Structure 1
Amino acid sequence: MEKVKPKKHLGQHFLTDLSIAERIAQAVKGHDGVNKVLEIGPGMGVLTDFLLKNPQELYLIEIDRESIAYLHKKYPQLGERIIEGDYLKYDASRILPEKYSIAGNFPYNISSQIFFRVLEEKDRVTEVVCMLQKEVAMRIASPKGNKDYGILSVLLQAWYDIEYLFTVPPTVFNPPPKVNSGVIRLTRNSVQKLDCDEKLFFKVVKGGFSTRRKTLRNALKSFELSEDFRSNPILDKRAEQLGVEEFVFLTQQIEKGRGSN
Protein backbone atom coordinates (compact mmCIF):
# COMPACT_ATOMS: atom_id res chain seq x y z
CA MET A 1 0.00 0.00 0.00
CA GLU A 2 1.14 3.51 -0.77
CA LYS A 3 2.14 5.39 2.34
CA VAL A 4 0.20 8.39 3.60
CA LYS A 5 2.05 11.70 3.43
CA PRO A 6 1.95 13.64 6.71
CA LYS A 7 -0.02 16.87 6.34
CA LYS A 8 1.26 20.01 8.01
CA HIS A 9 -2.18 21.64 8.33
CA LEU A 10 -3.35 18.63 10.37
CA GLY A 11 -0.26 18.73 12.59
CA GLN A 12 0.67 15.18 11.55
CA HIS A 13 3.98 13.73 12.74
CA PHE A 14 3.95 9.97 12.16
CA LEU A 15 5.75 7.86 14.75
CA THR A 16 8.33 5.54 13.15
CA ASP A 17 9.81 3.82 16.21
CA LEU A 18 7.99 0.53 16.84
CA SER A 19 9.40 0.04 20.34
CA ILE A 20 7.91 3.37 21.47
CA ALA A 21 4.56 2.49 19.89
CA GLU A 22 4.63 -0.80 21.80
CA ARG A 23 5.38 0.98 25.10
CA ILE A 24 2.45 3.33 24.60
CA ALA A 25 0.09 0.44 23.80
CA GLN A 26 1.26 -1.51 26.83
CA ALA A 27 0.51 1.49 29.06
CA VAL A 28 -3.21 1.12 28.25
CA LYS A 29 -4.47 -0.90 31.21
CA GLY A 30 -8.22 -0.92 30.63
CA HIS A 31 -8.90 0.91 33.92
CA ASP A 32 -12.06 0.01 35.82
CA GLY A 33 -12.62 -3.09 33.66
CA VAL A 34 -13.27 -1.03 30.52
CA ASN A 35 -12.83 -3.14 27.39
CA LYS A 36 -13.08 -0.54 24.63
CA VAL A 37 -10.33 1.79 23.41
CA LEU A 38 -10.67 4.71 21.01
CA GLU A 39 -7.47 5.67 19.19
CA ILE A 40 -7.46 9.31 18.12
CA GLY A 41 -5.56 10.11 14.92
CA PRO A 42 -4.09 6.69 14.02
CA GLY A 43 -2.48 7.93 10.79
CA MET A 44 -0.91 4.84 9.22
CA GLY A 45 -1.52 2.59 12.22
CA VAL A 46 1.92 2.32 13.83
CA LEU A 47 0.35 2.47 17.29
CA THR A 48 -2.75 0.64 16.07
CA ASP A 49 -0.72 -2.51 15.32
CA PHE A 50 0.17 -2.83 19.00
CA LEU A 51 -3.20 -1.72 20.38
CA LEU A 52 -4.75 -4.60 18.42
CA LYS A 53 -2.67 -6.98 20.55
CA ASN A 54 -4.37 -5.70 23.70
CA PRO A 55 -7.51 -7.47 24.95
CA GLN A 56 -9.70 -4.38 24.57
CA GLU A 57 -11.90 -3.83 21.51
CA LEU A 58 -10.34 -1.10 19.37
CA TYR A 59 -12.02 1.80 17.58
CA LEU A 60 -10.24 4.37 15.41
CA ILE A 61 -11.22 7.97 14.69
CA GLU A 62 -9.33 9.89 12.01
CA ILE A 63 -10.02 13.20 10.28
CA ASP A 64 -7.69 12.66 7.29
CA ARG A 65 -9.49 10.99 4.36
CA GLU A 66 -6.26 9.64 2.89
CA SER A 67 -5.47 7.95 6.21
CA ILE A 68 -9.03 6.59 6.43
CA ALA A 69 -8.69 4.91 3.04
CA TYR A 70 -5.30 3.49 4.07
CA LEU A 71 -6.65 2.19 7.40
CA HIS A 72 -9.62 0.45 5.74
CA LYS A 73 -7.20 -1.41 3.45
CA LYS A 74 -4.81 -2.26 6.27
CA TYR A 75 -7.45 -3.31 8.82
CA PRO A 76 -10.48 -4.65 6.91
CA GLN A 77 -11.47 -6.58 10.05
CA LEU A 78 -12.23 -3.32 11.88
CA GLY A 79 -14.95 -2.33 9.39
CA GLU A 80 -17.29 0.25 10.95
CA ARG A 81 -14.97 0.66 13.93
CA ILE A 82 -12.88 2.93 11.67
CA ILE A 83 -14.61 6.31 11.92
CA GLU A 84 -13.98 9.30 9.70
CA GLY A 85 -14.47 12.28 11.96
CA ASP A 86 -13.09 14.89 14.33
CA TYR A 87 -13.05 13.77 17.98
CA LEU A 88 -13.53 17.39 19.06
CA LYS A 89 -16.93 17.46 17.32
CA TYR A 90 -17.93 13.80 17.08
CA ASP A 91 -20.59 12.36 19.38
CA ALA A 92 -18.64 9.35 20.65
CA SER A 93 -21.73 7.97 22.38
CA ARG A 94 -23.01 6.93 18.95
CA ILE A 95 -20.40 4.16 18.80
CA LEU A 96 -19.25 3.99 22.41
CA PRO A 97 -22.36 4.39 24.59
CA GLU A 98 -20.56 3.00 27.63
CA LYS A 99 -17.22 3.80 29.27
CA TYR A 100 -14.07 3.75 27.15
CA SER A 101 -10.33 4.47 27.17
CA ILE A 102 -8.46 6.78 24.80
CA ALA A 103 -5.04 6.28 23.21
CA GLY A 104 -3.16 8.25 20.60
CA ASN A 105 -0.37 10.40 19.33
CA PHE A 106 -2.15 13.74 19.67
CA PRO A 107 -1.47 16.55 17.17
CA TYR A 108 0.37 19.29 19.05
CA ASN A 109 -1.93 22.04 17.77
CA ILE A 110 -5.14 20.56 19.24
CA SER A 111 -3.95 18.52 22.24
CA SER A 112 -5.33 20.99 24.80
CA GLN A 113 -8.70 21.01 23.00
CA ILE A 114 -8.77 17.20 23.14
CA PHE A 115 -8.33 17.34 26.91
CA PHE A 116 -11.16 19.85 27.32
CA ARG A 117 -13.29 17.41 25.30
CA VAL A 118 -12.15 14.59 27.62
CA LEU A 119 -13.36 16.68 30.57
CA GLU A 120 -16.78 16.91 28.93
CA GLU A 121 -16.69 13.10 28.59
CA LYS A 122 -15.18 12.46 32.04
CA ASP A 123 -18.07 10.27 33.16
CA ARG A 124 -17.29 7.85 30.31
CA VAL A 125 -13.54 8.27 29.65
CA THR A 126 -11.82 6.18 32.32
CA GLU A 127 -8.25 6.35 31.00
CA VAL A 128 -6.15 8.33 28.52
CA VAL A 129 -2.70 7.22 27.33
CA CYS A 130 -1.26 9.67 24.86
CA MET A 131 1.80 11.31 23.40
CA LEU A 132 1.89 15.08 22.98
CA GLN A 133 4.30 17.99 23.17
CA LYS A 134 6.50 17.46 26.24
CA GLU A 135 5.85 20.96 27.56
CA VAL A 136 2.08 20.34 27.61
CA ALA A 137 2.51 16.83 29.06
CA MET A 138 4.68 18.22 31.89
CA ARG A 139 2.12 20.96 32.56
CA ILE A 140 -0.75 18.48 32.87
CA ALA A 141 1.19 16.22 35.23
CA SER A 142 2.70 19.07 37.26
CA PRO A 143 1.94 19.41 41.00
CA LYS A 144 0.91 22.73 42.53
CA GLY A 145 3.71 25.18 43.24
CA ASN A 146 5.51 24.31 40.00
CA LYS A 147 5.96 26.90 37.26
CA ASP A 148 4.44 24.44 34.74
CA TYR A 149 1.24 24.12 36.80
CA GLY A 150 -1.75 25.72 35.10
CA ILE A 151 -5.41 25.58 34.13
CA LEU A 152 -5.32 22.10 32.56
CA SER A 153 -3.32 20.78 35.53
CA VAL A 154 -6.07 21.74 37.99
CA LEU A 155 -9.05 20.78 35.83
CA LEU A 156 -7.70 17.37 34.82
CA GLN A 157 -6.29 16.56 38.27
CA ALA A 158 -9.76 17.17 39.73
CA TRP A 159 -10.99 14.00 38.02
CA TYR A 160 -7.88 12.06 36.98
CA ASP A 161 -4.68 10.70 38.52
CA ILE A 162 -1.88 11.68 36.15
CA GLU A 163 1.49 10.04 35.50
CA TYR A 164 4.27 11.30 33.24
CA LEU A 165 5.59 8.05 31.71
CA PHE A 166 8.51 8.90 29.42
CA THR A 167 10.04 11.39 26.96
CA VAL A 168 10.27 10.81 23.21
CA PRO A 169 12.87 12.58 21.00
CA PRO A 170 11.98 14.29 17.68
CA THR A 171 14.14 11.85 15.68
CA VAL A 172 11.54 9.05 15.80
CA PHE A 173 8.90 10.97 13.81
CA ASN A 174 8.28 11.72 10.15
CA PRO A 175 8.61 14.65 9.82
CA PRO A 176 10.53 15.33 13.06
CA PRO A 177 8.88 18.02 15.24
CA LYS A 178 11.03 20.82 16.64
CA VAL A 179 10.44 19.78 20.26
CA ASN A 180 10.47 16.67 22.45
CA SER A 181 7.27 14.73 23.09
CA GLY A 182 6.02 13.23 26.34
CA VAL A 183 3.80 10.24 27.07
CA ILE A 184 1.32 10.53 29.95
CA ARG A 185 -1.43 8.38 31.44
CA LEU A 186 -4.61 9.75 32.98
CA THR A 187 -6.62 7.38 35.17
CA ARG A 188 -10.13 8.33 36.32
CA ASN A 189 -10.27 8.83 40.08
CA SER A 190 -13.23 8.20 42.39
CA VAL A 191 -14.61 11.77 42.27
CA GLN A 192 -18.12 11.74 40.82
CA LYS A 193 -18.95 15.36 41.54
CA LEU A 194 -17.01 18.24 43.04
CA ASP A 195 -18.36 19.74 46.26
CA CYS A 196 -19.15 23.01 44.48
CA ASP A 197 -20.74 24.40 41.33
CA GLU A 198 -18.58 22.77 38.63
CA LYS A 199 -19.23 25.42 35.97
CA LEU A 200 -18.19 28.11 38.42
CA PHE A 201 -15.16 26.01 39.41
CA PHE A 202 -13.98 26.07 35.76
CA LYS A 203 -14.43 29.86 35.65
CA VAL A 204 -12.60 30.40 38.95
CA VAL A 205 -9.64 28.26 37.84
CA LYS A 206 -9.39 30.07 34.50
CA GLY A 207 -9.79 33.45 36.22
CA GLY A 208 -7.12 32.62 38.78
CA PHE A 209 -4.57 31.81 36.10
CA SER A 210 -5.54 34.68 33.79
CA THR A 211 -2.86 36.85 35.40
CA ARG A 212 -0.41 34.37 36.91
CA ARG A 213 1.78 36.94 38.68
CA LYS A 214 -1.08 38.57 40.53
CA THR A 215 -2.48 37.36 43.80
CA LEU A 216 -5.90 35.76 43.67
CA ARG A 217 -7.35 38.84 45.36
CA ASN A 218 -6.47 40.82 42.23
CA ALA A 219 -6.95 38.05 39.67
CA LEU A 220 -10.49 37.33 40.89
CA LYS A 221 -11.65 40.95 41.22
CA SER A 222 -14.51 40.37 38.78
CA PHE A 223 -15.97 37.66 41.04
CA GLU A 224 -18.27 38.48 43.93
CA LEU A 225 -16.40 37.86 47.18
CA SER A 226 -18.23 38.26 50.46
CA GLU A 227 -17.03 40.99 52.83
CA ASP A 228 -15.97 38.37 55.37
CA PHE A 229 -13.97 36.38 52.85
CA ARG A 230 -12.01 39.28 51.33
CA SER A 231 -9.50 39.21 54.19
CA ASN A 232 -8.92 35.43 53.93
CA PRO A 233 -5.17 34.69 53.55
CA ILE A 234 -5.83 32.29 50.66
CA LEU A 235 -6.41 35.37 48.50
CA ASP A 236 -2.81 36.46 49.14
CA LYS A 237 -1.63 33.40 47.19
CA ARG A 238 -1.18 33.01 43.45
CA ALA A 239 -3.18 30.45 41.46
CA GLU A 240 -0.20 28.13 40.98
CA GLN A 241 0.01 27.67 44.77
CA LEU A 242 -3.47 26.13 45.04
CA GLY A 243 -4.43 22.49 44.61
CA VAL A 244 -7.81 21.14 43.52
CA GLU A 245 -9.31 21.14 47.04
CA GLU A 246 -8.27 24.76 47.60
CA PHE A 247 -9.87 25.80 44.30
CA VAL A 248 -13.04 23.98 45.39
CA PHE A 249 -12.96 25.94 48.67
CA LEU A 250 -12.45 29.18 46.74
CA THR A 251 -15.41 28.37 44.49
CA GLN A 252 -17.58 27.61 47.54
CA GLN A 253 -16.75 31.02 49.03
CA ILE A 254 -17.63 32.80 45.76
CA GLU A 255 -20.92 30.86 45.70
CA LYS A 256 -21.64 32.11 49.24
CA GLY A 257 -20.80 35.66 48.21
CA ARG A 258 -23.28 35.47 45.34
CA GLY A 259 -25.93 34.06 47.67
CA SER A 260 -25.53 36.90 50.18
CA ASN A 261 -25.90 39.66 47.60
Structure 2
Amino acid sequence: MKKRKKSFPGKGKWDKAPHYEEAAVKAKKHLGQHFLTDETIAEKIAGTLSFSGYSKVLEIGPGMGVLTKYLLKKDAEIHVIEIDTESVAYLNNKYAELQGRIHEQDFLKYDISEIFGADQYAVTGNFPYNISSQIVFKVLENRHLVPEFSGMFQKEVARRICEKAGSKTYGILSVLTQAFYEAEYLFTVPPSVFNPPPKVDSGVLRLKRRENLSLACNERLFFRVVKTAFGQRRKTLRNSLKSFSLPDNVREDAIFGQRPEQLSTEAFIDLTVKIQPYAIPDQR
Protein backbone atom coordinates (compact mmCIF):
# COMPACT_ATOMS: atom_id res chain seq x y z
CA MET A 1 0.00 0.00 0.00
CA LYS A 2 1.33 3.41 -0.90
CA LYS A 3 2.10 5.87 1.88
CA ARG A 4 0.52 9.27 1.57
CA LYS A 5 2.54 12.44 1.74
CA LYS A 6 2.42 14.47 4.93
CA SER A 7 -0.07 17.27 4.56
CA PHE A 8 -1.43 18.57 7.87
CA PRO A 9 -2.47 21.27 7.41
CA GLY A 10 -2.87 20.11 3.82
CA LYS A 11 -2.54 22.20 0.69
CA GLY A 12 -2.01 19.44 -1.83
CA LYS A 13 -3.91 16.35 -2.85
CA TRP A 14 -4.30 13.41 -0.53
CA ASP A 15 -2.59 10.27 -1.78
CA LYS A 16 -3.90 6.80 -1.14
CA ALA A 17 -4.17 6.25 2.58
CA PRO A 18 -5.44 3.58 4.98
CA HIS A 19 -9.18 3.34 4.48
CA TYR A 20 -11.91 2.18 6.79
CA GLU A 21 -13.62 -1.11 6.07
CA GLU A 22 -16.12 -1.24 3.21
CA ALA A 23 -19.49 0.28 3.99
CA ALA A 24 -21.61 -1.86 6.30
CA VAL A 25 -24.14 0.96 6.72
CA LYS A 26 -25.76 2.59 3.73
CA ALA A 27 -25.35 6.38 3.66
CA LYS A 28 -28.71 8.10 3.72
CA LYS A 29 -29.15 11.20 1.61
CA HIS A 30 -31.92 12.67 3.77
CA LEU A 31 -29.55 12.62 6.75
CA GLY A 32 -26.75 14.26 4.76
CA GLN A 33 -24.45 11.29 5.41
CA HIS A 34 -21.04 11.09 3.75
CA PHE A 35 -18.94 8.52 5.58
CA LEU A 36 -15.26 9.37 5.97
CA THR A 37 -13.17 6.43 4.74
CA ASP A 38 -9.63 7.75 5.31
CA GLU A 39 -8.35 6.65 8.72
CA THR A 40 -5.36 8.99 8.59
CA ILE A 41 -7.69 12.00 8.39
CA ALA A 42 -9.89 10.54 11.13
CA GLU A 43 -6.86 10.24 13.39
CA LYS A 44 -5.91 13.86 12.66
CA ILE A 45 -9.39 15.09 13.55
CA ALA A 46 -9.22 13.18 16.85
CA GLY A 47 -5.89 14.92 17.41
CA THR A 48 -7.45 18.39 17.12
CA LEU A 49 -8.81 18.15 20.67
CA SER A 50 -6.49 19.14 23.51
CA PHE A 51 -8.36 17.30 26.33
CA SER A 52 -7.40 20.21 28.58
CA GLY A 53 -9.92 21.31 31.20
CA TYR A 54 -12.39 18.52 30.43
CA SER A 55 -12.45 14.73 30.34
CA LYS A 56 -15.62 14.06 28.36
CA VAL A 57 -16.27 14.24 24.62
CA LEU A 58 -19.44 14.11 22.55
CA GLU A 59 -19.10 13.00 18.94
CA ILE A 60 -22.02 13.98 16.71
CA GLY A 61 -23.03 11.65 13.89
CA PRO A 62 -20.36 8.93 14.21
CA GLY A 63 -21.76 6.80 11.38
CA MET A 64 -19.61 3.67 11.40
CA GLY A 65 -17.13 5.03 13.92
CA VAL A 66 -14.06 5.83 11.85
CA LEU A 67 -13.41 8.89 14.03
CA THR A 68 -14.78 7.20 17.15
CA LYS A 69 -12.08 4.55 16.86
CA TYR A 70 -9.35 7.16 17.45
CA LEU A 71 -11.25 9.12 20.08
CA LEU A 72 -11.52 5.91 22.13
CA LYS A 73 -7.72 5.77 22.26
CA LYS A 74 -7.68 9.05 24.20
CA ASP A 75 -7.78 9.25 27.98
CA ALA A 76 -11.35 10.55 28.05
CA GLU A 77 -14.96 9.45 28.42
CA ILE A 78 -16.34 9.28 24.87
CA HIS A 79 -20.05 9.52 24.08
CA VAL A 80 -21.62 9.50 20.63
CA ILE A 81 -25.01 10.78 19.51
CA GLU A 82 -26.51 9.33 16.35
CA ILE A 83 -29.99 9.61 14.82
CA ASP A 84 -29.55 6.80 12.28
CA THR A 85 -30.89 3.52 13.69
CA GLU A 86 -28.74 1.43 11.34
CA SER A 87 -25.57 3.21 12.46
CA VAL A 88 -26.53 2.79 16.11
CA ALA A 89 -26.92 -0.97 15.63
CA TYR A 90 -23.55 -1.13 13.87
CA LEU A 91 -21.78 0.85 16.61
CA ASN A 92 -23.30 -1.27 19.36
CA ASN A 93 -22.00 -4.39 17.62
CA LYS A 94 -18.59 -2.94 16.74
CA TYR A 95 -17.59 -1.04 19.88
CA ALA A 96 -18.29 -2.88 23.12
CA GLU A 97 -16.41 -0.15 25.03
CA LEU A 98 -19.17 2.31 24.05
CA GLN A 99 -21.86 0.35 25.86
CA GLY A 100 -24.23 2.81 27.53
CA ARG A 101 -22.62 5.76 25.75
CA ILE A 102 -24.32 5.50 22.35
CA HIS A 103 -27.26 7.90 22.37
CA GLU A 104 -29.86 7.42 19.66
CA GLN A 105 -31.06 11.01 19.57
CA ASP A 106 -31.26 14.12 17.39
CA PHE A 107 -28.51 16.40 18.69
CA LEU A 108 -30.43 19.53 17.70
CA LYS A 109 -33.47 18.53 19.76
CA TYR A 110 -31.83 16.67 22.65
CA ASP A 111 -31.00 18.14 26.06
CA ILE A 112 -27.31 17.25 26.37
CA SER A 113 -27.48 17.75 30.14
CA GLU A 114 -29.20 14.34 30.14
CA ILE A 115 -25.75 12.94 29.29
CA PHE A 116 -23.26 15.20 31.04
CA GLY A 117 -25.23 17.14 33.63
CA ALA A 118 -23.22 20.26 34.48
CA ASP A 119 -19.86 18.74 33.48
CA GLN A 120 -17.62 20.32 30.85
CA TYR A 121 -17.34 18.43 27.55
CA ALA A 122 -15.89 18.88 24.07
CA VAL A 123 -17.84 18.42 20.84
CA THR A 124 -16.44 16.93 17.64
CA GLY A 125 -17.54 15.07 14.54
CA ASN A 126 -17.83 14.82 10.79
CA PHE A 127 -20.92 17.01 10.63
CA PRO A 128 -23.74 16.61 8.08
CA TYR A 129 -23.57 19.63 5.79
CA ASN A 130 -27.30 20.26 5.94
CA ILE A 131 -27.34 20.95 9.70
CA SER A 132 -23.76 22.07 10.41
CA SER A 133 -24.67 25.73 11.04
CA GLN A 134 -27.45 24.67 13.40
CA ILE A 135 -24.94 22.52 15.29
CA VAL A 136 -22.73 25.58 15.78
CA PHE A 137 -25.65 27.64 17.09
CA LYS A 138 -26.57 24.93 19.59
CA VAL A 139 -22.96 24.76 20.79
CA LEU A 140 -23.06 28.54 21.27
CA GLU A 141 -26.20 28.14 23.39
CA ASN A 142 -24.27 25.68 25.57
CA ARG A 143 -20.93 27.51 25.47
CA HIS A 144 -20.66 27.60 29.28
CA LEU A 145 -20.25 23.79 29.12
CA VAL A 146 -18.27 23.39 25.87
CA PRO A 147 -14.66 24.64 26.15
CA GLU A 148 -13.56 23.10 22.86
CA PHE A 149 -15.25 22.25 19.57
CA SER A 150 -13.67 20.75 16.45
CA GLY A 151 -14.73 18.86 13.38
CA MET A 152 -15.40 18.70 9.67
CA PHE A 153 -17.74 21.01 7.79
CA GLN A 154 -18.33 21.94 4.19
CA LYS A 155 -15.20 23.97 3.43
CA GLU A 156 -17.16 27.13 2.67
CA VAL A 157 -18.89 26.99 6.07
CA ALA A 158 -15.67 26.23 7.97
CA ARG A 159 -13.96 29.18 6.27
CA ARG A 160 -16.90 31.46 7.06
CA ILE A 161 -16.84 30.56 10.75
CA CYS A 162 -13.13 31.43 10.96
CA GLU A 163 -13.23 34.48 8.66
CA LYS A 164 -12.22 37.96 9.83
CA ALA A 165 -13.90 41.30 9.20
CA GLY A 166 -13.51 42.77 5.74
CA SER A 167 -14.22 39.59 3.79
CA LYS A 168 -17.32 38.96 1.69
CA THR A 169 -17.77 35.60 3.42
CA TYR A 170 -17.61 37.16 6.90
CA GLY A 171 -21.08 37.02 8.40
CA ILE A 172 -23.40 36.03 11.23
CA LEU A 173 -21.63 32.72 11.98
CA SER A 174 -18.26 34.47 12.03
CA VAL A 175 -19.25 37.21 14.47
CA LEU A 176 -21.35 35.14 16.88
CA THR A 177 -18.86 32.27 17.05
CA GLN A 178 -15.81 34.49 17.48
CA ALA A 179 -17.52 36.46 20.24
CA PHE A 180 -17.09 33.41 22.46
CA TYR A 181 -14.45 31.21 20.78
CA GLU A 182 -11.07 31.56 19.12
CA ALA A 183 -11.57 30.03 15.67
CA GLU A 184 -8.85 28.30 13.65
CA TYR A 185 -9.17 26.72 10.20
CA LEU A 186 -6.88 23.67 10.19
CA PHE A 187 -6.94 21.84 6.85
CA THR A 188 -8.93 20.99 3.73
CA VAL A 189 -10.22 17.50 2.89
CA PRO A 190 -11.14 16.43 -0.69
CA PRO A 191 -14.37 14.62 -1.69
CA SER A 192 -12.48 11.45 -2.67
CA VAL A 193 -12.08 10.28 0.95
CA PHE A 194 -15.83 9.98 1.57
CA ASN A 195 -18.44 7.38 0.67
CA PRO A 196 -20.40 8.65 -1.15
CA PRO A 197 -18.15 11.58 -2.15
CA PRO A 198 -19.76 15.01 -1.71
CA LYS A 199 -19.60 17.55 -4.54
CA VAL A 200 -17.44 20.01 -2.58
CA ASP A 201 -14.32 20.09 -0.43
CA SER A 202 -14.58 19.82 3.35
CA GLY A 203 -12.71 21.80 5.97
CA VAL A 204 -11.64 20.96 9.52
CA LEU A 205 -11.65 23.67 12.18
CA ARG A 206 -11.09 24.06 15.90
CA LEU A 207 -12.80 26.42 18.33
CA LYS A 208 -11.36 27.16 21.77
CA ARG A 209 -13.57 28.99 24.23
CA ARG A 210 -12.43 32.41 25.35
CA GLU A 211 -11.65 32.89 29.03
CA ASN A 212 -14.23 35.65 29.45
CA LEU A 213 -17.64 34.39 28.39
CA SER A 214 -19.48 37.57 29.36
CA LEU A 215 -19.92 40.28 26.74
CA ALA A 216 -19.85 43.97 27.67
CA CYS A 217 -23.42 44.31 26.42
CA ASN A 218 -26.80 42.63 26.54
CA GLU A 219 -26.08 39.28 24.84
CA ARG A 220 -29.59 38.73 23.50
CA LEU A 221 -29.54 42.20 21.95
CA PHE A 222 -26.06 41.51 20.54
CA PHE A 223 -27.36 38.44 18.69
CA ARG A 224 -30.31 40.47 17.38
CA VAL A 225 -28.13 43.36 16.20
CA VAL A 226 -25.73 41.03 14.35
CA LYS A 227 -28.51 39.05 12.64
CA THR A 228 -30.43 42.21 11.68
CA ALA A 229 -27.33 43.91 10.30
CA PHE A 230 -26.35 40.98 8.10
CA GLY A 231 -29.95 40.53 7.00
CA GLN A 232 -29.26 43.46 4.66
CA ARG A 233 -25.50 43.22 4.42
CA ARG A 234 -25.19 45.50 1.37
CA LYS A 235 -26.71 48.42 3.25
CA THR A 236 -25.00 50.62 5.80
CA LEU A 237 -25.92 50.00 9.42
CA ARG A 238 -27.81 53.29 9.40
CA ASN A 239 -30.28 51.69 7.00
CA SER A 240 -30.19 48.03 7.99
CA LEU A 241 -30.86 48.81 11.67
CA LYS A 242 -33.83 51.13 11.10
CA SER A 243 -36.11 48.72 12.94
CA PHE A 244 -34.43 49.76 16.21
CA SER A 245 -35.88 53.31 15.81
CA LEU A 246 -32.76 55.02 17.14
CA PRO A 247 -32.60 58.80 17.73
CA ASP A 248 -30.95 60.83 14.96
CA ASN A 249 -28.07 61.88 17.20
CA VAL A 250 -27.18 58.18 17.74
CA ARG A 251 -27.53 57.29 14.06
CA GLU A 252 -25.08 60.08 13.19
CA ASP A 253 -22.26 58.14 14.88
CA ALA A 254 -19.62 57.14 12.31
CA ILE A 255 -20.09 53.44 13.00
CA PHE A 256 -23.56 53.57 11.42
CA GLY A 257 -22.00 54.62 8.12
CA GLN A 258 -20.27 51.26 7.79
CA ARG A 259 -21.52 47.96 6.39
CA PRO A 260 -21.73 44.92 8.67
CA GLU A 261 -18.79 43.05 7.11
CA GLN A 262 -16.53 45.98 8.07
CA LEU A 263 -17.14 45.51 11.80
CA SER A 264 -15.07 43.17 13.94
CA THR A 265 -16.72 41.21 16.74
CA GLU A 266 -15.48 43.84 19.20
CA ALA A 267 -16.99 46.60 17.07
CA PHE A 268 -20.34 44.81 17.06
CA ILE A 269 -20.19 44.70 20.85
CA ASP A 270 -19.50 48.47 20.90
CA LEU A 271 -22.41 48.98 18.47
CA THR A 272 -24.73 47.01 20.76
CA VAL A 273 -23.65 49.14 23.73
CA LYS A 274 -24.64 52.27 21.75
CA ILE A 275 -28.04 50.80 20.86
CA GLN A 276 -28.82 49.25 24.24
CA PRO A 277 -30.20 52.36 26.05
CA TYR A 278 -32.75 52.84 23.26
CA ALA A 279 -33.80 49.23 22.63
CA ILE A 280 -37.36 48.49 23.65
CA PRO A 281 -37.76 45.49 26.02
CA ASP A 282 -38.80 42.97 23.38
CA GLN A 283 -35.69 43.81 21.35
CA ARG A 284 -33.37 42.82 24.20
Q: TM-score range by the shorter chain?
A: over 0.9
1:206 and 2:227 equivalent? yes
Partner amino acid, structure 1, of 2:168: K
1:124-153: CA deviation from partner (whole Å, max 9, x where unpaired): 011111101000000000011111100010
Which amino acid in structure 2 is aligned with residue 69 of structure 1? Answer: A
Instruction: Please list every run of at least 4 consecutive aligned residues from structure 1 whose deviation after the TM superposition is greater than 3 angstroms.
Output: none
Which TM-score applies when normalising by structure 2? 0.89
The structure whose residues are more often helix, as a share, is: 1
Within 2, Cα distance between the matches of 1:163 and 1:92?
A: 25
Structure 1 SS opposite 2:123: strand
* C-alpha separation in 2, matches of 1:41 and 1:88: 11
Work out the CA distance in 2 between the residues paired with 1:20 and 1:166: 10
Q: Percent identity?
A: 59
Aligned to 1:34, what secondary structure does the other structure show?
coil
Aligned position for 2:276: 255
Q: Does 1:144 align with 2:165?
A: yes
Cα distance in 2, alignment partners of residues 44 and 192 from structure 1: 35
SS in structure 1 at match of 2:73: coil
The root-mean-square deviation of aligned C-alpha atoms, in Å, is 1.2
Give the match for residue 131 of structure 1. Answer: 152
Amino acid at match of 2:252: S
- 1:237 partner letter: Q
Hey, what does 1:102 align to over in structure 2? 123
Q: Could you tell me how far apart the structure 2 residues matched to 1:58 and 1:34 are?
A: 11
Report the Cα distance in structure 1 between the residues aligned to 2:69 and 2:40, rounded to whole angstroms. 12
Pairs aligned (count): 258
Match of 1:228 in 2: 249
Distance 2:95 2:245 in 1: 56
The answer to whether the Cα contact below 8 Å between 1:11 and 1:109 also exists between their aligned partners in 2 is: yes
Query: What is the distance in 1 between the residues matched to 2:263 and 2:190?
Result: 32
Alignment of 1:3-22 (within 5 A): 3-22=24-43
CA distance in 1, matches of 2:148, 2:279: 36
> Could you list the runs of 5+ residues in structure 1 that have no partner in the other structure?
none
1:227 CA displacement: 3.1
Residue by residue over 1:49-98, the C-alpha shift from the partner in whole angstroms, topping out at 9 and shown as x without a partner, is: 11111111100000000000000001122111110001101111111121
**3-state SS, counterpart of residue 46 of structure 1:** coil
Q: Give yes or no for the alignment of 1:58 onto 2:78.
A: yes
User: Residue 266 of structure 2 is aligned with which of 245, 254, 261?
Assistant: 245
Give the whole-Å Cα distance in 2 for the aligned partners of 1:256 and 1:19.
53
User: Partners of 1:232 and 1:43 in 2: how far apart?
Assistant: 51
> What does residue range 84-95 of structure 1 map to in structure 2 within 5 Å?
84-95=104-115
Give me the TM-score of the superposition, normalised by structure 1: 0.96
Aligned mates of 2:152, 2:126 — CA distance in 1 = 5
- Structure 2: gaps spanning 5 or more residues: 1-20
Q: Secondary structure, in 3 states, of the residue corresponding to 1:140?
A: helix
